[in-house]
Every structure is written in C-alpha cells, then in structure tokens.
Structure 1
C-alpha cells in the first residue's frame, strides 16, 4: 500500500449556476522516500489536485473519487481528522513565501504556533526546536533570526523558513507547489539540494509541482504530466525525458528558449551609455538621522547598449540589476555619467525628461501587479498615447488595434479586463503598452520568470521579432540563464552591486572568466 494514493479524482467548481471541471479522473501514488513530480502548464489542474489531498479547496468545489493517506480516506473525512493530518502528516510549501507567512508575526511566533498546535511543544523547548529546524534548513545564526519579520529576510531565507515550518512536525508527505519559481538560480539550486537531503534523511514522500522540466530531471523519481485536468503520461523520470510518448509531453520538453539573436549592424547607434554609474543609499541612525554608512546598490557600472542590441543583466537578488536599470532611466538618483543618444541627461529637468520617458519603457516581472484591474486592455495600452502626444492624427483605438495584432493579441478582446486574460496574454498587454509609444529602449525586468515554459518561448520569439522590426535596444534582466543566452548579444554579471564580468554572450557562457559566473552557470544546470 502506498503512503498517498489518489484514485479517479474529479474536481469541479460551481459558479453562477454552472459547473466547470478542473480535474478529470486523476490517479497516482506517492511512496515513502519517493519524489513524484506533477508537471504541466498553468491551469492544467496541478495545484487543485494537490489541495484536494487534504480538502483545502474553496467551498464552491465539488470533489469526487478517492484520496487515501496511510490507508485512511481523506475525501469526506471530518474536520477534526483533517486538521490532525494538515501540517502534521501532510505538509505544504507554496510558491511565494511572502504571501504564506504572516507579515505581522515574527518567525519564532509563527513556527511556535505550529509546534504548539500539533505537538504541544511550548516555551523554551519550542525555541530550542525552532533553532534546530532553522539550522537544519541552512539559516545562518538562527538565534539572531527568531525576532525577524518576513520582510526582513531575503527570498531564499523566507523559502527556507517555509521549509522549516513544513518539517516542524516531521510529516510523512511533503507537497511542494512551485517552491523555487521566484528564486535566483543559485538559491534555487540550494533549495532543491536541501529538499533532496531532507527527504532522504526524514524518509518522506514528496509531491513536487512545477512547470520547470529542468528541475524535474534533477529531483524526481517519477513524473505525471497533466494537461487540461488529466494525466496524459506517467512514468519514471528517465523514461519520460528520453522517450516521451504523448505529443503534449514532447511539446513541453521542446519548449526551451534556444537559438541566438540576430547580429546587430556594425554602425548601430549607441542608444544609452553609463560611465562609472553609482547608486549608494545612505544608512541613517539616531534622532538626527546622521548618515553612518551606505548600502552600495550599484558601484561603478559602465555599460552601453546599441540599437538592435540586447544587454542581458544577470545576478542574484540584491545584486543591483534593477537598480542599475532604474538609474539609467533616471527614475532614481545616481552619480556618474548617463547619456541617451549622445545627450547628457543627468541635468535634464522634469519637463525635458518627459521625452525620455516615451523613448525608454519598462516591462515588469508580474504583469498582473503592473496592470490596473479597473482598466480595460484598450485603456491600459492607450494610456500613454495622450500623455506623450503619439501620432495625434490617428485614432487611439486604431493604434491599439495595430499594436495588439503586432504583439499577438486578439483586438476583439480589447474591452476585457486583466483578470480575464492568461499570464502570457497579460505579459503581451504589458509589452503592447510599452510598444505603442514606439520606444528606442525597452527595459525587460524578469519578463518571463512567472510564465510557463511554452509561453516563455512565445514571449522570447515575440521580443526578438519586435527588436528586429524596430531596431530596439533591450536591457534584459533575468535569473533564467537559458532565456538570457537566447536573447542577449552582450551579458553583464553583477554581484553585490559590482560588475564582476561583461562580454559577448556566447564567449561568457562558453568560457566564463570569474568563479562567480561559473557558479551561476553551474547552478542553472
């Protein structure tokens, strides 16, 4: 008998009197000491399946079939039994720890709550256990972190705290739902290694949910491929990767950004240039707020990007990638030289900078967070047209139709709101909003990290086509080195505010010159 058995699971959601089926007859098992990966694109039913195991779905869900843990039926079990199992026998790690951790409570308080609830461990005994757990998941000087709040920890540290909380009650089954998607490659590699070690030492069964097949190859024993609520293929990891049978599995495995960008003209114009750019944030202490030091976010960065060229910027969180781009765009103050098309823009007034705003646009990582939920797609895309007086002789709606077609969006959907689009479509709207102004430079800040692999490939192809058509200069910020390699002519590597290496993309990936760059490339697998 398997530790966790799911048989013919069917989940439907009732909304406005209509029933929508999200999971359609899914069956799989997880044994002790085994990692089973559930892979597929967004909306395929992966997370709904996982949440069904301990009845964590919304009240509108209708669940049929069988889910047994250690031989006991979970579907239809009473609330007392479910509370006993949740977080105790079956634990969860979610994608974004910042939304899973309580921002108002310290790390110690949140972890102590779980220990008191499930094991009756309180006081000094609980504190000793918490320090032991934080130490086990690789948090340095854990006793100094007990009074920290979630916002005072880095992304990697928060994810380690989530893992410590999940392991606090020594679960038999660990369900990890996209636990590394938002992390840098080096932190991602550390978290995967940590999960593998802990699973082995604790002999847990693990259900690992992801859309990243590179991770699956490294961590899973068996793979279940989901599409539209069904498992279309299942088998040992090596078999699925070496000899995929289903067309959808083949499509997923082939969905990896590849190739190289088109070469740029030898006489291409330099669009933007920085000379010894420096961004230091003062550390102020005391009643009089005296400056006692500086956070050196960017230190002496000299870069150039030409028309039709992509400069990839890579490095861990906090290395200064986004700060460098914001300083170049004059969105934050900095020291050092900044020129735009041979014009010194450091002393430009707010009025003069407005022209720069039109020519320099930015696309963010999370399109849902950067699109107003109260505006339609057409209103979002057209917002900048009136501000910058773009093509005043043409109707804004005509320009919106044109740019939507150009970015692969259906103009018939222009009056819909952001929540009515998929993640990939929302990212296309964000690109269309920038492109409608016909900019010369586009800053792309992690534009593909929250997207499925197949959608990533589409967005990379779209960006390449737009660059070729309009001779756009790109600053491409990412921790996904495969995407950076496929997009970039030049690559800049940053660490703790310093530029540690810069050079042509192919040369940098083939023969990295610094240990840090080699570490990044090795961590990306």
Structure 2
C-alpha cells in the first residue's frame, strides 16, 4: 500500500539491471582534507526504465552521475560499487572506461553551447564519435549522421552538416547533443538538466523526443533535474537527494502523491504562488512606449548595401506604473530582451520612450547618465555579471561612486543595510562571488541594483537558473522590495509559473511582434491567441 514502504529503502535491482549503484561514497581532496560530497548512495536502473535524481543544487546529483563512468578528476575519492551490466566501473582500467563512455553510457549536458566545439561543424563533431567507436568514415558516416539528425528532429539535416553550433538555436543545439549521445546505440542515457535553459515549448519538444527515443530504442535513462514538473512527466522512479544522501526513493506516482520525507514535501511545495499586490489607482506611469521598433540591417555584397532588416521588435506599445510588474514572455528570439534593452536606451530604436514623463529616445549618453540610477537591470546569470575579482562590498557599492550619491555617508553601512534587506549576512561582504551559492549570488545582483534606489528595474530571467526552492525565495524578495519602494518591474522570463506569481500585466511576444497583452488574469484564464495557449499548455502540463 502507498505510504507503508520505507522511504530510505533501496529496492532490489532486476537481474538485467543496466546500472546498479551500491553504497557510493565520494569525497574531494581540498587543502589536505577530504570534503564529502556523496554519502552512501544506492539505487539502480532497470532496462528500459527512467530514474530521476532530484534535489537542490549541491545535493550531489551531478557528482553521482559523473562518477558512474569515473569523470570526476584526480581530486575525487570514489568508494563503493557502480556496476554496468554486472561490470564493476569503480577502479576499472582507463581502456575499459573509454570503451564504455559515449558508447554504452552516453551523456546529455545542461548547456550544449559549452559542450559542443565551436570550431567544428556538426558533421565533424558527430563523425568523431562514429569513427572512434564504430570505425565509420566517409559516406557511411555521413549517412549515419543525417539519419541521427533526422531522428532528433533537425529539419533539412543534409543542409545543416556544415553548420557550426553558433548557427543553431538553443533547442537545435540540444537536439544535436542528443544525436551525439545516441550515435553509438547506448544502453544508458544520462541527461543532466537537459531542459533547464530552454523555453517551455522547446522543453516540451525535447521531453517528447526523449520519451519517443526511450520507447523506440529501448533506452534506460538517468534523468537529473530540479524541476519536479518535468520529472513527473518523464520518470518511472524518483530518488530524492539532500546533502549527498538519498532521503527517499520510489515510484514516481507514490513520491508525488504520498511523499514520506519532509524534504520531499518541501520540494513538492516549492513553487511560486499567489498574485501580485494591487497597484494604487493614482500610481504614476514610469515607462511608456509607442510603436517601438528595433530593426537590425542586413548588409550584403562588397559595398555592404542594406538588403533588408531583421525586425527584432516590430511595434511594441506598453506602459508600466510605479509598483506594477509587466511580464514579458515568449520563446528565445521573440524580442523580449531586445525590447528591454531598447527601453533602457542600451541599443538604438525608433519610437517614443517616455521615462518618468520625459521622452528619452533621442538623448545622448551624457544626458542619459543622470537617469541611469533610476533604471537598473538584474541579469539571468549572476555569476557572469559579477566580477570575480571584486568583493561583494565592492560590487554592491560600485554604483554609489559612479553616480556620486554616497558623499558624506558611510558606504560600508549602506552596503550592510542593503545586504540585510535582501537576506544576506553583512559580515560576508568581504567574500568573493564564487564563495556564494547561486541564490545568494542573485541576491547580490539584486542588492547592487537596489542600493541606488531605482524607479524601474528590468529583471531578465532572474530565476531560470535557480532551484525551485530558491525561486520561491527570490520571488518573495522581489515582491517585498516592489511593495516597499513602489518599483516598476519589466519581468522577462520563459517560466510562466513565475511570471504568473509576479506580474500584474502580461505581454506575449513572438518573432518581434506583440501577439497579445492584458492583465495576468486575462492572459492566463482567457488567452485569445493560439500561440499563447500553446505556451500555457507547455508550461503547465503535468503541474498540479
């Protein structure tokens, strides 16, 4: 009966289990001591089965997956047992591991742009694996590559063989990664956060593709994710990890319907909920645009004549009041970020941009400088936007000096106050970004913007790279700051669950066009356009 099994118990593997992990312990040598990362993990994957490892960042999911084929590096100490079809991999010779890696056990990683070689064409990258493991070259290899690309949904595969990774969209790059993983007919596919950075519609396509491949190829899969809605859709069994241990495992339906461990229940309940606070009727309009356009010229020929335009934003009209959030949603390439950058006057555009009652569209950089403190941006990847060579105190305080607003004030006290306000300990201000978690780094980025007391803040995918539990915390923080200071937010995201919790109004964009806009209730409860309905269906499939 559901709920009567031991949440910590490890079910026995079938006789034909593809992977069996028993009492796996992993530590990393640091400064003369060993720091434990995985503490006695046991699980198995049967033939044709998908097992998901879930948990927050730092729980040991990826380390466990990489250890299966000994990819952790020399600083790792691995103990216990990892058996692939009864062949022990812990301590196995390199030649044995080389034969298994990419051949019998293949990986799909989270960010394909860093996994694919930017200097090699698709044909060369897929061909290397075929030549190494199967001895295929020439036309035979080319035929196999075209077949693989067709199977993963790359259109006109024959014409894309000479393309480089940067010429593909995010979804196409992930499909190429899947094709590479399937090239040698593996028994086990390990997918480490394969959909985290993708739009909801592309996520749905990739999950459907993986499900089809699993059925058609008889694949077994180890699926790693922090998004439980995705896990519920794809996994047969779930292992919940916390602090390097599996605290609960069992069939997917049982884990979701009758979780036994408090941590599992916390993960399942970790989703942004509620609605944005009402905006006063007399709230000031801080940002307004009318028929805003951002067109990039296409130049060809020796004389570089303009032969056309890429219409990145083609006529956007919007307004945002103090204390109000406009959610901007759409797939990658729809023009969301371009629109925000144009409003902030960081790229050129055509059409009025009314900021705090003044049309700033034609202003020079020098004239704009006095308004810059009133318009701030928080980016998707805080680690990429924070200088690794500056302390947190220097990062947060930098804008004070730039705008000359700290004269006669205790700068360190101002930093301490804003750190406390965003939920950071002021005594950590001497540390560097790499010493903080992803959620803490995002709080640092928010503090850097908020210390200037801006009026308008662009939030460009501020939660997409974060765990669900951290997303909830960041959404709560942003709501409280907005209510306290009357901030206007332009909230850009492909996560429609977060947008729903944050936004008063929604703008839906596709290929540079505004498809529809309205209040959050209108868009979510009564979407008019088929594209909006498709986005919502993809975002909330499998969700409670």
Distance between the aligned counterparts of 1:482 and 1:254, measured in 2? 13
Residue 365 (1) aligns with residue 380 (2):
yes
Q: Is 1:251 the equivalent of 2:273?
A: no
Deviations 1:337-364 (A, max 9, x none): 1110111111222222012211000000
Partner of 2:323: 308
TM-superposition CA deviations, 1:390-449 (whole Å, max 9, x none): 242212111101110110010000000000000000000000000000000000000000
Residue in 2 aligned with 1:412?
427
Which residue of structure 2 aligns with residue 165 of structure 1? 180
Asked if residue 30 in structure 1 is aligned to residue 45 in structure 2, the reply is yes
Q: How far did 1:146 drift?
A: 0.5
Give the Cα–Cα distance (whole angstroms) in 1 for the partners of residues 319 and 369 of structure 2.
22
d(CA) in 1 for partners of 2:521 and 2:449?
29
**Is residue 233 of structure 2 the alignment partner of residue 218 of structure 1?**
yes
Mapping for residues 146-185 of structure 1, pairs under 5 Å: 146-185=161-200
Match of 1:470 among 476, 479, 485: 485
Deviation at 1:57, TM superposition (A): 0.6
Residue aligned with 2:248, SS = strand
Does 2:418 align with 1:377? no
State the match for 1:144 in structure 2: 159
- Between the aligned partners of 1:292 and 1:156, the Cα distance in structure 2 is 29
2:86 aligned to 54, 71, 95, which one? 71
Instruction: Encode CA deviations 1:361-397: one digit per residue, 9 max, x unaligned.
Output: 0000000000000000000000000111124221211
TM-score of the superposition, structure 1-length normalised? 1.00
- Residue 466 of structure 2 is matched in structure 1 by 451
- Paired residue for 2:77? 62
1:228 maps onto 2:243 in alignment: yes
C-alpha displacement at 1:173, in angstroms?
0.2
What is the match of residue 506 of structure 1? Answer: 521
SS in 1 for 2:352: strand
Deviations 1:76-120 (A, max 9, x none): 111111000000000000000000000110010000000000011
CA RMSD of aligned residues (A): 0.6
* Deviating 4+ runs (over 4 angstroms): none
Instruction: Tell me the SS of whatever aligns to 1:461.
Output: helix
Do structure 1's residue 196 and structure 2's residue 211 form an aligned pair?
A: yes
CA distance in 2, matches of 1:41, 1:17: 28
SS of 1:384's partner is helix
**What is the CA–CA distance in structure 1 between the aligned matches of 2:300 and 2:411, rounded to whole Å?**
51
- The answer for the alignment partner of 2:120 in structure 1 is 105
What is the SS of the residue equivalent to 1:235?
strand
Q: Which residue matches 1:291?
A: 306
Q: Which residue of 1 aligns with 2:67?
A: 52
Residue 346 of structure 1 corresponds to 361
TM alignment of 1:108-127, pairs within 5 A: 108-127=123-142
CA distance in 2, matches of 1:372, 1:6: 40
User: 2:494 is matched with which residue: 465, 479, 486?
Assistant: 479
* Residue of structure 2 equivalent to 1:497: 512
Q: 1:94 is matched with which residue?
A: 109
Q: Measure the CA separation in 2 of the matches of 1:125 and 1:308.
A: 62
Q: Which runs of 5+ in 1 are unaligned?
A: none
Tell me, in whole angstroms, the C-alpha distance in 1 between the residues paired with 2:362 and 2:254: 61
- 1:140-168 CA deviation, whole Å, 9 max, x = no partner? 10111111111111000000000000000
Aligned to 2:348: 333
Distance 1:255 1:299 in 2: 37
Q: Distance in 2 between matches of 1:466 and 1:41?
A: 25
Q: State the alpha-carbon separation in 2 of the partners of residues 445 and 50 from structure 1.
A: 31
Distance in 1, Cα, partners of 2:271 & 2:420: 24
SS in 1 for 2:351: strand
Whole-angstrom CA distance in 2 between matches of 1:494 and 1:393: 46
Deviations 1:287-306, CA, capped at 9 Å, x for gaps:
11111111000000001000
What's the CA shift string for 1:217-272, capped at 9, x where partnerless?
10000000000000000000000000101000000001000000110000100000
Q: Distance in 1 between matches of 2:275 and 2:406?
A: 34
Aligned residue among 258, 272, 294 for 2:287: 272
